[in-house]
Amino acid sequence: MSREPVSIALVQTSCGENPAGNLEKACQKIRQAAASGAGIICLQELFTTRYFCQTEAYEPFGYAEPVPGPSTDLLQALARELEVVIVASLFEKRARGLYHNTAAVIDADGSYLGKYRKMHIPDDPGFYEKFYFTPGDLGYRVFDTRYARIGVLICWDQWYPEAARLTALRGAEILFYPTAIGWAAEEHSEDVRRAQQQAWKTMQLSHAVANGVFVAAANRVGVEGDLEFWGNSFVCDPFGQVIAEAAHQDETVLMAGCDCSRIDFYRAHWPFLRDRRIETYGDLQKRFIEE
């Protein structure tokens, strides 16, 4: 595994009604990122479709596909051609009546390295994911790619420090978060919008600091139904400093450089992993601690 700095790219786009068109757009953006020097390219959550989880309906199950399957076959060929690593979030059909929100990881030689299934599944107005997705059962995973050892978590996972910690403890150097998050279209207060977005960002910056890793979040843009996706894909270093950030409304390929050899420096200066009192954390397995 190379110790040279790696250039990563986050693809931030809107999505249309046609899954084939969305896949083609993603492939074009991957080519653009590769031409700009990216070694690892992360697509946004469920990039082949509009965000169908705003309602509970049966028709969207028709979008699901096996992983690996048709989309990963196409992306594997593209990764092999361009010599890039691709992180792709897809609606996985595991079996009849069993579906997951899944990220596939493809190495720069086109090999399929495996998948991560989203562990934390929300059920809120406009985000009815429990209707569609079974919680992941593969655990928190890392993938040794040509350019870096990476971990992948998905959207709602980004609010849980336990997920980031366990992925980092497995050796992840960069945490990628394919994401689909936005404001309710009826929410017009700029103060509320700003607070919501800042909370989302702060949470992920804290994962970088606490674990001494790079964090990269790829969000979508555009208005879909009652949601306005807020974009603002970003990459931060292990000190929580944002090194690249996209606008909230623009389609873009966001580029950033990550020098993973510097993780030793960050962790030596802030030795949070050294000072953990693991023998005191057993109660984290409880839902709530009753006095």
* pLDDT tens column, 40-56: 999 999 999 999 999 99
Q: What's the CA gap between 198 and 200, in Å, rounded?
A: 5
* pLDDT tens column, 208-241: 999 999 999 999 999 999 999 999 999 999 999 9
**Would you state the pLDDT for residue 77?**
98
Give the confidence band of 1 by pLDDT, cuts at 50, 70, 90.
very low
Q: What's the CA gap between 17 and 290, in Å, rounded?
A: 48
**Crossing angle of helices 161-169/190-211, nearest 10°?**
30
Segment 151-173 mean pLDDT: 98
CATH of 6-285, one of 3.40.50.2300, 3.30.70.1560, 3.60.110.10, 3.30.420.40: 3.60.110.10
Among 180-184, 186-190, 274-278, name the one with the lowest average pLDDT: 186-190
Neighbours of 194 (CB within 10 A): 10
Q: Which amino acid is residue 30, in one-letter code? A: I
Give the confidence band of 194 by pLDDT, cuts at 50, 70, 90.
very high
Residue 2 has pLDDT above 90, yes or no: no
**Would you state the pLDDT for residue 3?**
73
Provide the annotated active-site residues.
45, 118, 155
C-alpha closest to that of 233 among 214, 253, 213: 253
Give the confidence band of 91 by pLDDT, cuts at 50, 70, 90.
very high
Q: Domain map of the chain by residue range?
A: 6-285
Query: Torsion-angle region of residue 168: left (phi > 0), alpha (psi -120 to 50) or beta?
Result: alpha
Check if the beta carbon of residue 269 is closer than 8 Å to that of residue 280.
no
